[in-house]
């Protein structure tokens, strides 16, 4: 089981005035860890540094005590499915994995067994001789996970794996990741809150390069308790209300509308309600963006 220590990590890209990562400190234990943040939050940058594809500007990361500057050792410990991953479209599934197994230095005598085992695990055995260009989006992502696991790494890192998938494939992929997290450390990076809610209780939230939350979902929900309200307005009251409040839900019912909204202070004629994970996520981002304005 792998433990990842991230200590005071900063990344500045050349020509950018704000850092992509700003003094991030985090410990990730075995099991599934969700890394949540909107586009541009710094998720991919953190994952690229972890997988040794980018260099940090300052700070350090260790995986099981090994510093990430030891690239070869770290790459043996980590399997990675990047956000944009391409296979040769005319290659067959089994042949593509064989090619990657050779690159990953899987011993020749173990390659066939390893690939068949992985295809079985990601439910692609029936596609073994299919050409990659014939696979669906969900199948391609499962193949991406198989390639990331080719040398049986202790850590699996997946960057936005459910983007563009239909609900059935999204759920299938999430369940697959959960099963791989039983005996590994899995980092799932996403901007989709339900991906995290359905797979793990341990998460970190990045916003504009800052880690604005780290802990479990109970602690996260406690953060926004007392800041989420529900009420009903007449349709013509809504535009004015929207000028001063951030709505998280809006359901039209004839001449009125039922709304849920965020507020720092209690609001008369509105009932406090328990926030969902998605609403807390919005709340934390709003608070953080107010602070740095
Ligand atoms: N190679 C690069 N050169 C310059 N700036 C970069 C580079 N890669 C990322 N950035 C910038 O760093 C910030 C963080 O980007 P990053 O891709 O890590 O975010 P993200 O949370 O993964 O978002 P997305 O899901 O959109 O990729 C953004 O402002 C982005 O424009």
CA 119 – ligand 1 centroid, Å: 32
pLDDT for 244: 85
Please name which of 65, 35, 69 lies closest in space to residue 52, comparing C-alpha atoms: 69
Which pair of tokens denotes residue 288? 């953080």
Q: Is the dihedral of CA 136, 181, 198, 62 positive or negative?
A: negative
Q: What percent of the chain has pLDDT over 70?
A: 98
CA 200 – ligand 1 centroid, Å: 25
- 């011993």: which residue's tokens? 107
Q: What is the C-alpha to C-alpha distance for residues 146 and 256, in angstroms, rounded to an integer?
A: 51
Burial of 23 (0-12, 13-18, 19+ CB in 10 A): middle
ipTM: 0.96
Average pLDDT over residues 200-224: 90
**12, 36, 44, best to mutate for ligand 1 pocket (most atoms within 8 Å of CB):** 44
Beta strands in 64-184 (DSSP E): 66-67, 78-81, 155-159
- Using a 6 Å cutoff on CB, does residue 17 contact ligand 1? no
Tell me the pLDDT tens digit for each residue of 262-286: 988 888 889 999 888 889 888 888 8
- Using a 6 Å cutoff on CB, does residue 42 contact ligand 1? yes
Closest-lying ligand 1 atom to the alpha carbon of residue 46: 18
pLDDT for 288: 73
pLDDT for 107: 93
- 């433990």: which residue's tokens? 3
Tell me the pLDDT tens digit for each residue of 146-188: 999 998 999 999 999 988 888 988 998 899 999 999 999 999 9
- Using a 6 Å cutoff on CB, does residue 41 contact ligand 1? yes
- Using a 6 Å cutoff on CB, does residue 205 contact ligand 1? no
CA 71 – ligand 1 centroid, Å: 22
Range from 27-31, 48-52, 153-157, 220-224 carrying the lowest mean pLDDT: 220-224
Which protein residue's CA is at the shortest distance from atom 28 of ligand 1?
40
Question: Does residue 41 register a pLDDT over 90?
Answer: yes
Evaluate whether 270 touches 230 at the Cβ level (below 8 Å).
yes
**18, 22, 38, 43, best to mutate for ligand 1 pocket (most atoms within 8 Å of CB):** 43
In order of their start, the domains of the chain are 4-214 (3.40.50.300), 222-292 (no CATH)
CA 46 – ligand 1 centroid, Å: 10
Spatial CB neighbours of 102, under 8 Å, sequence gap ≥ 6: 111
CA 42 – ligand 1 centroid, Å: 6
Closest-lying ligand 1 atom to the alpha carbon of residue 41: 21
Which protein residue's CA is at the shortest distance from atom 11 of ligand 1?
20
Q: What is the C-alpha to C-alpha distance for residues 41 and 94, in angstroms, rounded to an integer?
A: 36
- Using a 6 Å cutoff on CB, does residue 39 contact ligand 1? yes
At 108, is the secondary structure helix, strand, or coil?
helix
* Residues written for the chain: 293
Element (H, E) at 148: helix 137-148
pLDDT for 265: 82
What Rg, from alpha-carbon coordinates, does the chain have? 22
Closest-lying ligand 1 atom to the alpha carbon of residue 191: 25
pLDDT for 219: 87
Closest-lying ligand 1 atom to the alpha carbon of residue 206: 21
Which protein residue's CA is at the shortest distance from atom 3 of ligand 1?
13
pLDDT band at 224 (very low <50, low <70, confident <90, very high): confident
CA 290 – ligand 1 centroid, Å: 22
Tell me the pLDDT tens digit for each residue of 67-109: 999 999 999 999 999 988 888 899 999 999 999 999 988 999 9
């Amino acid at each position: 089981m792998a433990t990842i220590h991230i200590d005071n990590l900063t990344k500045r890209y050349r020509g950018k005035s704000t850092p992509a990562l700003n003094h991030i400190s985090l410990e990730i234990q075995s099991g599934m860890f969700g890394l949540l943040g909107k586009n541009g939050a710094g998720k991919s940058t953190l994952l690229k540094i972890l997988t040794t594809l980018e260099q940090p500007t300052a700070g350090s990361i260790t995986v099981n005590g090994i510093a990430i500057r030891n690239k070869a050792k770290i790459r043996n410990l980590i399997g990675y499915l990047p956000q944009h991953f391409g296979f040769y479209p005319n290659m067959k599934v089994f042949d593509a994995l064989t090619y990657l197994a050779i690159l990953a230095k899987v011993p020749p005598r173990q390659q066939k067994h390893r690939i068949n085992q992985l295809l079985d695990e990601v439910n692609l055995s029936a596609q073994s001789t299919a050409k990659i260009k014939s696979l669906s989006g969900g199948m391609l992502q499962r193949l991406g996970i198989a390639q990331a696991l080719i040398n049986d790494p202790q850590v699996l890192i997946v960057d936005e794996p459910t983007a563009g998938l239909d609900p059935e494939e999204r759920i299938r992929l999430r369940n697959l990741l959960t099963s791989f997290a039983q005996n590994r450390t899995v980092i799932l990076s996403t901007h989709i809150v339900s991906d995290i809610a359905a797979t793990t209780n341990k998460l970190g939230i990045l916003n504009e390069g800052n880690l604005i939350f780290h802990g479990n979902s109970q602690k996260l929900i406690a953060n926004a308790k007392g800041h989420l309200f529900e009420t009903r307005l007449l349709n013509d009251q809504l535009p004015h209300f929207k000028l001063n409040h951030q709505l998280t839900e809006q359901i039209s019912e004839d001449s009125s509308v039922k709304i849920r909204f965020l507020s720092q202070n209690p609001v008369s004629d509105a009932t406090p309600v328990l926030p969902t994970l998605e609403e807390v996520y919005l709340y934390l981002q709003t608070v953080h963006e107010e602070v740095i304005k």
